[in-house]
Structure 1
Amino acid sequence: MSFDLEHIRSRNPIEDVISEKFSLKKSGSRFIGAEHDSLVVIPQSGMYFWNSRNEHGDVFDFVGRYHLNYGSGWNNRDSAQFMEAIEHLARRAGISIERNADFRQTPVWAERQLVQRLHDTLLNTPPALSYATKQRGWDMQTVRLAKPGFMPQDKRPLLDGLNLSDTWRNVIHKFPAGMLVYIHLNNGRLTYLSGRSIEGKRHYNPPRDIIGEKQPYFNHCYSAESNQLVVVEGQADAITFGEWGVPAVAIAGMSISDELLIRLKKHDRVFISLDNTDDANTQSQMIAKALGGKAYLPKFPNEVKDANEWLAQHQATADDASDLLNKAQNWLLSEVHRAANLEGLARQDAIRDLFQHVGDLDSFTLAQFKEAMGKIGVKARVFNEMMKLSSNENPDSGDDFAEVFDDSIPVLSPAQGFRDDLALVTVSLLERTRKNCLNIQPYLVTSSRELKRVTDEQIISIDQKEVALRVVPEGSEFLQRWRYSDIRRFLDGETIQPGEIFNGIHDLFKRYVDFRSDIESRILSLWVVGTYFYQMFPAYPYLALNGPKNSGKSTVLRVLQPLAFNMISTSDPTGASMFRLIHYTSCTVGIDEAERYHNPRDPGMQQIRQLLNSGYKQGMPAIRITGEDMKPQAFDVYSPKILAAIMGLEDILASRCIAIPMRRTDKKMPAFPPDFDGAGIRHQLYTLALTHFKSIHRNYFQRPELHKLHNRSGELWSPLVALAAFFEEQGQVEGLLDAISEAAEWDEQLSEGKALSNREEAVLQSLEIMTRNADGAVWLKASELRERVREIMGISQDQMGHAQWIGHILNRLALTDRNRKKAYTGGQMYLIDRREVSDMMRRYDVSQIPTNLPEN
């Protein structure tokens, strides 16, 4: 036999093969179909699941169904069909195989078929499937991912026609019937089988003289490259963590081999989560001590015995599991607290022993360790001496000892950072290498007119002062926003005129977009400039472009794209990509069709909603579980964002926005040129940010007379007010500050309810019409009220959006409450009192409509 199935599989990653037929997008450690969100691909296990089609399999199955077009006729046990899939993948990977070779004689094929037959037996045995899904609490996707099997009484169908080794045949013959079978795999090969009775509590491991020592069980999420994993006792607990998307290994008891210990040490973080018993807690401490600073000790709730009980009896979720791990205490730090309660020589020995475990600590945990030691009386000088001794005793710990970071050094975003008398931005420039290749390399451009090549160092010296970069930026075409020739002009001392910059941007908006008034284009122009300063401000407003189709919203985004700081525009962002882009590049984000992100029935939008709700203000990071190891990471999602929507935004998101109403134009506006790159304006904006940041800082932080608004309105408008004052005073843009201040005050009145929106006025007028002949309170249907509002406003059904805003407005105007609404088969009904409607119209000075519309 001249080929190996696992070699062919390894050369054809399943996500690559599937993406040749269907677009995929990354979602944590998985891939999701871009157009078919029920298509889920798991690279770690090499499996895919298409839930809406009740279909799953590995790369061979996918090729058979979609590349070879067998569809529902695919049968992975048909040798002719399976050979076609092998040949297709072999050609794809450039692997030569013998066409006349009988692959059915390979051990891999036989093992693969045995695993599938065991799994099919489970799926076709109702008591066994019920045990897995009801008693163990696993959903069907987890069952298909973990591929547990079931051992039948008649084992002949399991072995028939398979060229299995005598070892595996003996294992199957001796395996007790009526047991759930756990499939132990290593690099795709079957290594071990273990069992658990579905009736009673009986475990089984094959005799050592047949297959050797029992083996650990790695769940379907596990990968050797995982940064972290969970160690559990039983296989069911490992599968349970797999249901929560967490890599886990079951040690099948409470002992751990040296071989497994070496394997665990290759991961950065190991959570020891054995059963919640005294014996298991003792064993957890022993395993943690062997792992040292890599070990963490999560604590189940007191009433919970283990992970599977937590799922099956308490319905724990992936979020619960994430929270459990996120709150786990580092073993080494817990040992510091234990040593603090000892006395005399025992205390000295315990402290001395702790220093033997510091070699693998990352800098942050080391800092925590030093702080904890300081609290129990180990002073800095003694600590440093003990660290040196420990380093000398452990030749693998490295020569360098990390110092605790001095927090007097400013930590700045390299994409755009401001501190006292320093400003910097990151750009990418093309380099020519010694081998005459091109390399895209990040550089820092500073307010001291330095150009610094970025290395792996995060603490650098700028103008003879130390600065720490929050992240190490990477070179990319995306950041090639400032031409090197223009940078050279800045480095050589070129200056700019602030007024020319503002007027140039304002003229662009005026030329290509028909705004209702000058104030909208002025707000947009200031906002564009502010994207180059936004890291200076505690908060920066979103802009909401609200208007019907063909009202110029997309044109505004096209004008912004080449001008705003590191701007990206999208109508279908994914949470994972946006979190990383903003965190590393501080990019401006333009989102079209933004109204769909507040659809509560769309779980795929949850990450985007979190990003939008958190990202208008500094210090509100988004915590995400990332990578194959499901490691919690804080992403700084603070950045400028502009949202275009036909139907408006929901209340929480709208409260973070300055609204820019858009309208259909009746003029012949020129089309925005597709080849406009804005490089000249960007050069002026970069130069402005690096030369005038002190003036903007002073206007924002040291001139309280400019800022007359409070609360959320003050948060949103203050950056634009500070910029308006700058351009009026240093750029001679007359009347700009008054215009922006008046717009801000009007916006504050709207947000505080001192004025009504057009839609709110229309709701009051509709209610007045619908209750005009009523003596008291009347039950009104939300759908009929919505239609009446639409008629009064003269807009289309599409522009009205979903019906939920009816309830929001009625609540805001205090015309309903929980006791005055009810559901019916067609939606919601509200009990409306005509006297309250009349009172609200009087208070807000809303006129009645002498209607020729039919009355209810």
Structure 2
Amino acid sequence: MTNISTEKLYPKMRLSQFIYPENNDAYMHFVKLENENGSINKVPYLVSNHKQLIRLDQLDVHEDSFGGFTTLVEDKYMLPSGFQHYIPSNLAESTLQAKWVKEWQFGKIPEAKLHPKYIVNEIESAIRAVFHAEEEEYPVLALWVYATYFYTVFDKFPMLSVHGKAGSGKSTLNSVIDRFAFNSTYLYSTSAASLYGLISGYGGTFIFEDIDKNSEAEQDFIINTILKGSYYTGAFIQKTHTDGYPVSFNVYGPKVVTARMRHEYLTDRVLELETKEPSFERLKHLMSVEQFEHTYEFDINYLTSRAALSALEQFHAVNDAFKGEMIIQTSNGRIDEMVQPLAAVAKVVGGKFLDKLINYVRN
């Protein structure tokens, strides 16, 4: 065990995705099956934009000057406490698959299939196959999903607020986002303590299903504690640890919240979508999410893995677009700031997507 320097600041990572353009560093988390002494083990790794693999369970632990213990990645970044050995529960649906990391390392994924435009078009096609929406909503949904793969580039990210009557497709949309957005967690209920740690330490996209079916106390917790602090990276929640000292949690990151009725809590910080029941004719042409996943499981894993790997290649371009001039300008400056992450991604993607986003925001 070595001592950690007291003269350096070590940025704290989110395990699932950590992008730090200032140092030309970006990392994505994945799990690899390793044959070790005749036993097949699940081993946590990071892959960097430099195509390096970092095995997390073998990293050294450092002691700091306060008697605490820290794990450093490449002697530059702090792993969140308790997540060095973290393994997601459903590896089959993990965003980044080890097979495609290896293919990318050896240049075996065609460059065209890593291009943002190619990936967003594929995401849009997948959404169209299972979910009914207005024509102008499909490209915006695809942009939002792809933007989750870059969310640690940004200092803000718009929540997706979905409302509609029963049977209008809210759960279907949640299931689609759960499968295609970056490292998503579909929540029906969970404890506050585990949720704080998971969002702050592991990160990814979090989906809250039908919050208006929860009790008033649960709704208050979700809306006022989690959602109001989730769109901006500088918002921290203070909780008291068992030893009596305050602990800070950052709950920033992509969130989806669905409800039957439209809520007014964050109207200028969300991207709103009202689900509508499809006509019988349209319904005949839609696949169920289960059928789609069963039929295209290989393709889905290939797509989400390429989305993650393309983010490792494109994060500088997205960061430059985000930090440049305001891309979309309406009469509401807060809305302009809120959609800037999506506009930055759309600018890098190219094609129709920026115009579609502009029209959607203005209308």
The TM-score by the shorter chain falls in which range?
A: 0.7 to 0.9
Q: Conserved in 1, the CA contact under 8 Å of 2:45 and 2:55?
A: yes
Alpha-carbon offset, residue 718 of structure 1: 0.5
Q: Distance in 1 between matches of 2:219 and 2:193?
A: 11
Q: Match for 1:447 among 18, 42, 49?
A: 49
Match of 1:512?
Answer: 130
Q: Match for 1:621 among 233, 236, 243?
A: 236
Q: Distance in 2 between matches of 1:560 and 1:419?
A: 25
Q: 1:515 to 1:453 in 2, by over 3 A?
A: same
Query: Could you tell me which amino acid in structure 2 is paired with residue 543 of structure 1?
Result: L
Query: Could you tell me which amino acid in structure 1 is paired with residue 276 of structure 2?
Result: R
Q: Does 1:582 align with 2:203?
A: no
Q: Match for 1:700 among 302, 311, 322?
A: 322
Q: 1:497 to 1:401 in 2, by over 3 A?
A: closer
Q: Conserved in 1, the CA contact under 8 Å of 2:17 and 2:204?
A: no
SS at match of 2:329: coil
Give structure 1 regions of 4+ aligned residues with deviation exceeding 6 angstroms.
Answer: none
Q: Does 1:406 align with 2:8?
A: yes
Match of 1:534?
Answer: 151
SS at match of 1:452: strand
Query: Could you tell me which amino acid in structure 2 is paired with residue 503 of structure 1?
Result: N
Q: Distance in 2 between matches of 1:500 and 1:671?
A: 24
Q: 1:402 to 1:443 in 2, by over 3 A?
A: closer
Q: Distance in 2 between matches of 1:498 and 1:612?
A: 28
Q: Distance in 1 between matches of 2:5 and 2:326?
A: 44
SS at match of 2:156: coil
SS at match of 2:149: coil
Structure (1 or 2) with the larger CA radius of gyration: 1
Query: Could you tell me which amino acid in structure 1 is paired with residue 139 of structure 2?
Result: R
SS at match of 1:653: coil
Report how many residues are paired: 330
- Pairing of 1:661-810 with structure 2 (within 5 A): 661-666=274-279, 667=282, 668=284, 669-672=286-289, 673=291, 674-675=293-294, 676-677=296-297, 678-702=300-324, 704=325, 706-709=327-330, 711-728=333-350, 733=351, 735-746=352-363
Any idea what the Cα deviations from partners look like across 1:302-321, whole Å, max 9, x if unmatched?
A: xxxxxxxxxxxxxxxxxxxx
Match of 1:416?
Answer: 17
Any idea what the Cα deviations from partners look like across 1:210-255, whole Å, max 9, x if unmatched?
A: xxxxxxxxxxxxxxxxxxxxxxxxxxxxxxxxxxxxxxxxxxxxxx
Give me the CA root mean square deviation. 2.2
Q: Distance in 1 between matches of 2:321 and 2:172?
A: 32
SS at match of 2:228: helix
Alpha-carbon offset, residue 646 of structure 1: 0.8
Match of 2:255?
Answer: 641
What residue ranges of structure 1 are gaps of 5+ in the alignment?
Answer: 1-398, 747-856
Query: Could you tell me which amino acid in structure 2 is paired with residue 582 of structure 1?
Result: I
Any idea what the Cα deviations from partners look like across 1:536-564, whole Å, max 9, x if unmatched?
A: 11100111111111111111111111211
Alpha-carbon offset, residue 424 of structure 1: 0.9
Q: Distance in 2 between matches of 1:594 and 1:648?
A: 11
Q: Does 1:492 align with 2:113?
A: no
Alpha-carbon offset, residue 604 of structure 1: 4.0
Q: Match for 1:558 among 167, 175, 178?
A: 175
Q: Distance in 1 between matches of 2:152 and 2:141?
A: 18
Alpha-carbon offset, residue 623 of structure 1: 1.4
Match of 2:73?
Answer: 460
Q: 1:632 to 1:438 in 2, by over 3 A?
A: farther
Q: Does 1:438 align with 2:44?
A: no
Query: Could you tell me which amino acid in structure 2 is paired with residue 514 of structure 1?
Result: H
Any idea what the Cα deviations from partners look like across 1:727-778, whole Å, max 9, x if unmatched?
A: 11xxxx3x321221122233xxxxxxxxxxxxxxxxxxxxxxxxxxxxxxxx
SS at match of 1:670: coil
Q: Conserved in 1, the CA contact under 8 Å of 2:119 and 2:306?
A: yes
SS at match of 1:680: helix
Q: 1:401 to 1:660 in 2, by over 3 A?
A: closer
Q: 1:738 to 1:604 in 2, by over 3 A?
A: closer
Match of 2:139?
Answer: 522
Q: Conserved in 2, the CA contact under 8 Å of 1:613 and 1:653?
A: yes
SS at match of 1:476: coil
Query: Could you tell me which amino acid in structure 1 is paired with residue 318 of structure 2?
Result: I
Q: Does 1:657 align with 2:283?
A: no
Any idea what the Cα deviations from partners look like across 1:174-217, whole Å, max 9, x if unmatched?
A: xxxxxxxxxxxxxxxxxxxxxxxxxxxxxxxxxxxxxxxxxxxx
Q: Conserved in 2, the CA contact under 8 Å of 1:540 and 1:715?
A: no
Q: 1:487 to 1:593 in 2, by over 3 A?
A: same
Q: Match for 2:163 among 524, 541, 546?
A: 546
Alpha-carbon offset, residue 705 of structure 1: 5.4
Q: Conserved in 1, the CA contact under 8 Å of 2:73 and 2:79?
A: no
- Give the percent of matched residue pairs that are identical in Structure 1 and Structure 2: 22
Match of 1:252?
Answer: none
Alpha-carbon offset, residue 400 of structure 1: 6.3
Q: Distance in 1 between matches of 2:326 and 2:88?
A: 43
Q: Conserved in 1, the CA contact under 8 Å of 2:208 and 2:258?
A: yes
Q: Distance in 1 between matches of 2:86 and 2:192?
A: 22
Alpha-carbon offset, residue 680 of structure 1: 1.0
Q: 1:405 to 1:611 in 2, by over 3 A?
A: farther
Query: Is 686-695 or 567-576 further displaced after alignment?
Result: 567-576
Q: Conserved in 1, the CA contact under 8 Å of 2:143 and 2:353?
A: no
Q: Match for 1:428 among 20, 25, 31?
A: 31
- Pairing of 1:360-375 with structure 2 (within 5 A): none
Query: Could you tell me which amino acid in structure 2 is paired with residue 416 of structure 1?
Result: Q
Query: Could you tell me which amino acid in structure 2 is paired with residue 659 of structure 1?
Result: E
Q: Distance in 1 between matches of 2:233 and 2:354?
A: 25
Q: Does 1:475 align with 2:86?
A: yes
Any idea what the Cα deviations from partners look like across 1:316-357, whole Å, max 9, x if unmatched?
A: xxxxxxxxxxxxxxxxxxxxxxxxxxxxxxxxxxxxxxxxxx
Larger relative contact order (CA 8 Å, sep ≥ 6): 2
Q: Distance in 1 between matches of 2:41 and 2:220?
A: 37
